[in-house]
Amino acid sequence: MKAHGVPSPDVPADRPGRLAVGVVGAGRVGTALGAALTLAGHRVVAAAAVSQPSRDRAAERLPGAALLPLPEVVEAADLVLLTVPDDVLPDLVAGLAATGVPVEGRLFAHTGGRYGIGVLDPVTRAGGLPLALHPVMTFTGRPDDVDRLAGISFGVTSPEPLRPVAEALVVEMGGEPVWIPEERRPLYHAALAGGANHLVTLVAESMDLLRIAGVENPAGLLGPLLGAALDNALRLEMNGLTGPVARGDAGTVADHVTELGRVSPESRRAYIALARLTADRALAAGLLKPEDAERLLEVLAD
């Protein structure tokens, strides 16, 4: 193993348990996982890629993979990686099962966060072996995507007999398997999307407002503050909260609401919603006195 956690390329490809891998959806995620499995000694033998950028990416990252139609990718593989957007996955799986391509005994692993293994039922009924392996990371399509897999978590769901297989694949790709029950997958994904995606929106909105306020380098101003806030939140959760809501400073919050209403009604609505949630959580955590929370919620009444 390399020090950063991704298996080194000298793992023998003829080691027992090595798989022929087919990648369906040669995008950023599929090619990164395919490359990581190659480093672990598996062989990516085929890929299905529709767009020219996907075909180019597959040629660069998966040089040993033949570009084939979907049924032929499945036929060539022991492990089929379904790395397509969540909204595409159900129809893709249903269409695959309808083609009659032999799926019995093959592993089918999708990488969507929203779904567990239920979405793979059409191929499971035909004898396929279902896995859900969701990497908790963003991928840019750059060469360092494979290195990003080192030490990240994967949300894993599978039938119990296949759990060791699913977790072993994650470990071979340099990740840490985290078991997610089937019925909790939507909540799991909502939590991740709410944290990561909305964080980007909040930061971008803060930068826009700072530019309006006359700040020439919003990123330089926000970077240390947001880095410290994120670190506090991850280590201390609500005990890491600072700012006017934590202090019960209703006057400052009222000024914020007024100014945001003047500059950006959309920002005002978001600020009010998040400040209410913050006040509720601070009160529940014992960080905010009930009388202070009452004054804050009066200010935040919309």
**CATH label of the domain that carries residue 215:** 1.10.1040
Q: In angstroms, rounded to a whole number, what is the distance separating the alpha carbons of residues 290 and 26?
A: 54
pLDDT in tens, 226-283: 999 999 999 999 999 999 999 999 999 999 999 999 999 999 999 999 999 999 999 9
Q: Single out the residue in 180, 206, 233 at which a domain terminates.
A: 180
Across the range 108-130, mean pLDDT stands at 97
pLDDT in tens, 11-57: 444 454 699 999 999 889 999 999 999 999 999 999 998 888 888 88
Domain count, the chain: 2
Domain membership flag for residue 2: no
Position 17 scores a pLDDT of 67
- Which tokens go with 97? 């099962």
* 250 in Cβ contact with 282 (< 8 Å): no
Beta strands in the chain (DSSP E): 20-24, 43-48, 66-67, 79-82, 107-110, 129-135, 153-157, 176-179
* Sequence-separated (6 or more) residues with CB below 8 Å from residue 256: 244, 271
Domain membership flag for residue 82: yes
Query: Looking at the predicted structure, is the pLDDT value of residue 159 above 90?
Result: yes
Domain match, 113 and 250 both: no
Across the range 273-297, mean pLDDT stands at 95
The number of beta carbons lying within 10 Å of the beta carbon of residue 102 is 12
pTM listed for this prediction: 0.86
Give the chain's mean pLDDT. 92
Domain match, 102 and 249 both: no
Position 11 scores a pLDDT of 40
Domain match, 147 and 291 both: no
Domain match, 165 and 97 both: yes
Domain match, 121 and 215 both: no
Position 8 scores a pLDDT of 40
Domain membership flag for residue 79: yes
Position 53 scores a pLDDT of 84
Position 37 scores a pLDDT of 96
Position 9 scores a pLDDT of 37
Q: Single out the residue in 180, 202, 226 at which a domain terminates.
A: 180
pLDDT in tens, 171-200: 999 999 999 999 999 999 999 999 999 999
Query: Looking at the predicted structure, is the pLDDT value of residue 166 above 70?
Result: yes
Q: Single out the residue in 180, 199, 223 at which a domain terminates.
A: 180
Position 145 scores a pLDDT of 87
Position 31 scores a pLDDT of 92
Position 65 scores a pLDDT of 93
- Which tokens go with 242? 């600072």
Domain match, 38 and 63 both: yes
Across the range 61-86, mean pLDDT stands at 94
Q: Which domain holds residue 35?
A: 20-180
Domain match, 194 and 176 both: no
Domain match, 29 and 141 both: yes
Domain match, 209 and 156 both: no
Cα separation of the two ends of the chain: 57
Percent of the chain exceeding pLDDT 90 equals 84
Domain match, 81 and 106 both: yes
The number of beta carbons lying within 10 Å of the beta carbon of residue 3 is 7
